[in-house]
A and B are shown apart, each in its own frame.
Chain A
Amino acid sequence: MKVLLRNPRREIDVDGPVSVNTLLERLEINRESVIVIRGDELIPADTVLADSDQVEIRPVISGGAVDTQVRP
């Protein structure tokens, strides 16, 4: 299957069938820091992905200027 990764944007090939959970473990990605999307839909961790699937593993962590409580 085709797996799209971000930051930096790149695509890798992974053999299916494999569950979302196992895919993340193989890629050493913490499930707390991503969502997984197939087409336009979110898919949960127990979904089994087929060889023909295309999925995106989208990071959810954002950083930067978050200290808005610092005054003045």
Chain B
Amino acid sequence: MKCRVCRGPAIIDIRRHNANFCAEHFLKLCRDQTAKAIADFDMILPGERVLIAVSGGKDSLALWDLLLEMGYDADGLYLGLGIGDYSDDSGTYVRAFAESRGARLIEVDLRAEYGYDIPTGARAARRAPCSTCGLSKRHLFDRAALDGGYDAVATGHNLDDEAAVLLGNVLHWHDEYLGRQLPVLAARNGFPRKVKPLVRLGEREMAAYCVVRGIDYQVDECPMAEGNRHLAYKDALNMLEKRSPGAKHDFYFGFLARASERFRTTIDAEQDALLECERCGAPTPSEICAFCRLVEKAAGAQPVTITTRGGAV
């Protein structure tokens, strides 16, 4: 295979672009696609400060690397989730990356600062682990961004993530979630701006980017995510992508162009009706926000230990 740009030896084929790329031009493609997403959706303006939610996985570390390479003022925020060895290893990858780039890393440890970890919180609150994790991340990323005076929170959600979430929301017709599924959510009512600069890049490209750039990342899947529906949606979409290259891109960007606006009105009304949490001040539809209720339920709970297969004992 030869690079589409320079005709040198290719290292990767990207079938939805019907093209192969050498290392140099593959990295350029990743930077160009990230820059296009930022520009097309007005994600980050010149001079703004960005807080990147980093997990130690390929997407968030690639995003951090890309934004630093592109000259953005980008700090990282890592949450210690307390998911056994998986979290220990993930933290090691994040710290090593930050040190290698001389980048600023903020760390928040759930157990030390809020008295729970994801396995324990999930059991105490009777929520699915991924739901408990998502709730914790959303709340703490928002708080850190507002407290630190950042202009935006950037996450490593890529095209595969967005297409899979869209598939799940369409399958079950979650109107309220469809209204929020945008590459940018503007700051309002106590929420910071949320941006997803990797929406034009696939999961395979992000893994390849890390290999080419020499970025070590957490390759293993989170032991608590095993068997979740989101992974099944990704498998289904990859089967379609194999038969019809570009299917994921057309699905997601077609939704943004042709349908997303139809789901916006209910969301605007819902957000205008939010109250302030009586304990932490975060926006919430009830008196106490979901995060504070989680912390309350998990307080004093017997710690849950994760087995190597993701079970909790």
Chain A interface residues toward B at CB < 8 A:
6-7, 9, 30-35, 37, 40-46, 58-72
Q: Which of B211, B219, B221 makes the CB contact (< 8 A) with A42?
A: B211
Set of chain B residues within 8 Å of A43, measured between Cβ atoms: 11
Known: A42-B12, A42-B212. A63 touches B231 (CB 8 A): yes
B33 in the interface, Cβ–Cβ < 8 Å?
no
Set of chain A residues within 8 Å of B207, measured between Cβ atoms: 35, 58, 60
Stretch in contact with the other chain, from B43-51, B180-188, B249-257, B297-305: B180-188
A65 to B87, CA, bound (A): 14
Contact B58 A69 (CB under 8 A): no
Contact B11 A62 (CB under 8 A): no
* Distance from B281 Cβ to chain A, minimum over Cβ atoms (Å): 12
Contact A30 B239 (CB under 8 A): yes
A17 to B114, CA, bound (A): 55
Stretch in contact with the other chain, from B34-42, B92-100, B103-111, B127-135: B127-135
* Distance from A4 Cβ to chain B, minimum over Cβ atoms (Å): 11
> Which of A35, A37, A65 has the largest number of chain B CB atoms within 10 A?
A65
B151 in the interface, Cβ–Cβ < 8 Å?
no
A9 to B290, CA, bound (A): 37
A39 to B53, CA, bound (A): 30
Set of chain B residues within 8 Å of A9, measured between Cβ atoms: 220
Contact B225 A63 (CB under 8 A): yes
Known: A61-B160, A62-B57, A64-B133. A44 touches B228 (CB 8 A): no
B307 in the interface, Cβ–Cβ < 8 Å?
no
Contact B220 A7 (CB under 8 A): yes
* Distance from A49 Cβ to chain B, minimum over Cβ atoms (Å): 15
Set of chain B residues within 8 Å of A59, measured between Cβ atoms: 219, 221
Q: Which of A7, A31, A37, A41 makes the CB contact (< 8 A) with B242?
A: A31
> Which of A6, A33, A40 has the largest number of chain B CB atoms within 10 A?
A33
B283 in the interface, Cβ–Cβ < 8 Å?
yes
Q: At the interface, is chain A mostly helix, strand, loop or mixed? A: loop
Q: Which of B211, B230, B238, B274 makes the CB contact (< 8 A) with A63?
A: B230
Contact A32 B211 (CB under 8 A): no
Nearest chain A residue, comparing its CB with the CB of B190: A72
Nearest chain A residue, comparing its CB with the CB of B155: A68
> CB-CB contacts of B269-286 with A at 8 A, as 1s and 0s?
001001000000011110
Contact B11 A32 (CB under 8 A): no
A65 to B311, CA, bound (A): 17
Nearest chain B residue, comparing its CB with the CB of A45: B13
B165 in the interface, Cβ–Cβ < 8 Å?
yes
Q: Which of A33, A34, A44, A69 makes the CB contact (< 8 A) with B235?
A: A33
Set of chain B residues within 8 Å of A66, measured between Cβ atoms: 134, 157, 161, 164-165, 230
A68 to B137, CA, bound (A): 8
Set of chain A residues within 8 Å of B150, measured between Cβ atoms: none
B72 in the interface, Cβ–Cβ < 8 Å?
no
> CB-CB contacts of B126-166 with A at 8 A, as 1s and 0s?
00001101100110010000000000000101001100110
Q: Which of B130, B221, B239, B271 makes the CB contact (< 8 A) with A65?
A: B130
* Distance from A58 Cβ to chain B, minimum over Cβ atoms (Å): 6
B294 in the interface, Cβ–Cβ < 8 Å?
no
> CB-CB contacts of B233-259 with A at 8 A, as 1s and 0s?
011001101100000000000000000
26 pairs from A and B in contact (CB 8 Å cutoff)? A32-B241, A32-B242, A35-B12, A35-B204, A35-B207, A35-B211, A43-B11, A44-B20, A46-B1, A59-B219, A59-B221, A60-B207, A61-B203, A61-B221, A61-B231, A61-B238, A63-B221, A64-B224, A64-B230, A65-B130, A66-B164, A67-B165, A68-B137, A71-B180, A71-B271, A71-B283
